[in-house]
Structure 1
Amino acid sequence: MARKNLIGISDDPIDADAERAAADRPIAGLNPAPRPAAAVGGITRSLSNITQKVERAQELERQLAEGLAVVELDPAHVDASFVADRLGVAAHEQQSLAAQIREHGQQVPILVRPHPTAEGRYQVAYGHRRLAAAREIGGKVRAVVRELNDEQLVVSQGQENNARADLSFIERALFATRLEDRGFSREIIMAALGVDKAALSKMVSVVRRLPIVAIEAIGPAPSIGRRRWFELAELLSPDEKAEAASAFMQGQEFQEASSDQRFDALCTFLSTSRARAKAIPWVAPDETSPIRIRETESGTTLTFSRKSAPGFADFVRQRLKSLYLEYQEETGD
């Protein structure tokens, strides 16, 4: 893949040792050829220079392919990974990272691969926040370019996040579920996340039981672990609960809270709502309780007891039309 005018070799050293060593490495870590003891003719020198340049170019391409060289890329030519692994980054955290890079430079390169479908573009394996910071600052982003297939990319993406330990439980669980939905094997997902089969099953099961809109509305919730996410799934299990939760999460107070606070607020709301929605028995004239009535934000549910009044549910069902007509006459609807 041609990369002309898209990348530049960085001469910004990563550390002091690299800086000292770089003085003798003119291009991509290559040592200059020793000077001949005797003078050579002009033609010989020209041929030698051409040969060295070709060899250096070939070595550079080899190092790029193996991910051994750090290059500078235009952030406009770099796209995100095809699988998101974050539920957003707090604005103050991103601003802090951008300020740090602006002051001290980008110390750690990002990892990218040549884009599999777009000529001349790249795709991030990891380093999305550093890429965003480079875009904000307006400079180049330092990167390692490596040929990666989809499986290698997601494993690199997951393992780098594991090493940094900055993804929350629900972000890791959502990342695992997205990979599974894209057809990646459990073995690849376990390698990416560094977990065993049992842990992976629990992570995926949590996400499968939760509405994705609730996860995205809450965000990463860094202090919330697996057990509490399971508890939230239990609170959200009835359909009417999910509807009530959706309305609650639209509120300004919920949206302005931190991610952990949003999680706690939703749990509190659903727990209180569940207490209000407790079924109340309806007492008949014969002092039996053939019906239990449950009131929720979205409607009313009647539960007929087959033990107290067998066949009463069918009796009411057959008379629903006449009851509704009577209701319309009385209300004028």
Structure 2
Amino acid sequence: MARKNVFDLAPEDTEAAPAPVQPKLGRPLLGLERPIRPASPLGSISQSLESINSRAHRAEGIEKKLAEGQTIIELDTSMIDSSFVVDRLGVDAEDTASLVAQIKEHGQQVPILVRPHPDNEGRYQVAYGHRRLAAAKELGRPVRAVVRDLSDEQLVVSQGQENNSRTDLTFIERSFFGARLEDRKFSREVIMASLGIDKAALSRMIALIKRLPPELIEAVGPAPSYGRLRWAELADMLEEKGKRAKALKLVQERDFLAEKSDVRFQAVYDLLKKASPKERMAAEAQSWAPADNSVSVVAKSRSKALTVEFSNPNGKEFGTWITDNLDSLYEAFRKSK
């Protein structure tokens, strides 16, 4: 299925050309702008000739495939590093096993997108396809990839758009990814293009992430069954006194981390939702006093009962008057219904 990509980064169908274009000596398609030179007798004693030759042959083999008109090539997985901004909050073991089994039986149908590593010559960096890369590593086979020269902005937009088109990321993953991009000083326009959302939606997502401890988000994980409303409710409860510390203590427990992500979210939610007896009593207590404060009345509600306490100078006398007039007060109550 074709995907819309603002940088036209998706693999294209190839057609046999009558006269293949030979690659330039500088190998720009692989990001090797400087040609590989033979070892100098003065300056390369510490280099391994075997390593240089191996890298040269590897590059020549890749460029030969590109020169033949193939846009999809195979790369050794050990040559590929993750994106500089991770978009996933963990990968489910069952999903990984399923993908490994699928690729083992049918092969890798969709290539990953990589760019020449901006800092490490001869290596690559993933724009999208981290799970396919992990599956290929587990199977011990090369990964099919498209190599493109991408700027940081192009990489994150490609990364986000691919995940959006495959509906792979959950609400909290997309929000956390957007917040991470902003922390790295990417513009709001780039982040909106990456996530495929408007300015208002991005503002809400980043504002919510700022209310949630990052260590809690990472410990809970993608939580695919829970969207913005439940995460916002969780953020509200975290602002109550003492609850942030309780939640952070829970997410560090070994038993908590052993559960699936949805179960972890529900455990945090239930912990914060459950109030202590003192908290429940304080929340359910109502008080009243006249302007002169001569009487103070506190009503404490329980599941099936209501306790009323009278205090201050006239409290006892006022309470006695009420008990003496319960018949008329109850009749007035019935009429009010």
For the superposition of Structure 1 and Structure 2, which TM-score range results when normalised by the shorter chain? 0.5 to 0.7
* 3-state SS of paired residue (1:113): strand
Q: CA deviation at 1:218?
A: 0.9
CA deviation profile, 1:144-190 (whole Å, cap 9, x unmatched): 00010000000000000000001000000000000000000111100
- CA distance in 2 between counterparts of 1:210 and 1:186 reads 20
Equivalent in 163, 176, 179 of residue 177 of structure 1: 179
Evaluate the alpha carbon distance shift between residue 256 and residue 63 of structure 1 in structure 2; reply closer, same or farther with a 3 A threshold.
closer
Q: Which runs of 5+ in 2 are unaligned?
A: 1-10, 32-65, 288-293, 298-311, 313-337
Evaluate the alpha carbon distance shift between residue 150 and residue 239 of structure 1 in structure 2; reply closer, same or farther with a 3 A threshold.
farther
2:114 aligned with 1:112: yes
Assess if the C-alpha contact under 8 Å between 1:114 and 1:123 holds in 2. yes
- CA distance in 2 between counterparts of 1:74 and 1:118 reads 15
Q: 1:94 maps to what in 2?
A: 96
Q: CA deviation at 1:194?
A: 0.4
Evaluate the alpha carbon distance shift between residue 222 and residue 70 of structure 1 in structure 2; reply closer, same or farther with a 3 A threshold.
same
Evaluate the alpha carbon distance shift between residue 118 and residue 208 of structure 1 in structure 2; reply closer, same or farther with a 3 A threshold.
same
* Paired residue type of 1:195: I
TM-score by length of 2: 0.65
Moved more, 116-125 or 56-65: 56-65
Q: 2:149 maps to what in 1?
A: 147
CA deviation profile, 1:31-70 (whole Å, cap 9, x unmatched): 3x5xxxxxxxxxxxxxxxxxx7xx4334996877899711
* 3-state SS of paired residue (1:85): coil
Assess if the C-alpha contact under 8 Å between 1:30 and 1:56 holds in 2. no
Q: Which runs of 5+ in 1 are unaligned?
A: 1-13, 22-28, 34-51, 290-307, 309-333
Q: CA deviation at 1:142?
A: 0.7
- CA distance in 1 between counterparts of 2:140 and 2:130 reads 15
Residue pairs, 1:198-213, within 5 angstroms: 198-213=200-215
TM-score by length of 1: 0.66
Q: CA deviation at 1:213?
A: 1.2
- CA distance in 2 between counterparts of 1:81 and 1:274 reads 44
Q: 2:247 maps to what in 1?
A: 245
- CA distance in 1 between counterparts of 2:228 and 2:277 reads 24
Q: 2:124 maps to what in 1?
A: 122
Evaluate the alpha carbon distance shift between residue 275 and residue 143 of structure 1 in structure 2; reply closer, same or farther with a 3 A threshold.
farther
Equivalent in 63, 79, 94 of residue 77 of structure 1: 79
Evaluate the alpha carbon distance shift between residue 255 and residue 63 of structure 1 in structure 2; reply closer, same or farther with a 3 A threshold.
closer
- CA distance in 2 between counterparts of 1:130 and 1:204 reads 29
- CA distance in 1 between counterparts of 2:216 and 2:137 reads 30
- CA distance in 2 between counterparts of 1:68 and 1:188 reads 30
Q: 1:271 maps to what in 2?
A: 273
* Paired residue type of 1:230: A
Q: What do you get for the CA RMSD once the two structures are aligned?
A: 3.2
Q: What is the count of residue pairs matched by the alignment?
A: 244
* Paired residue type of 1:265: A
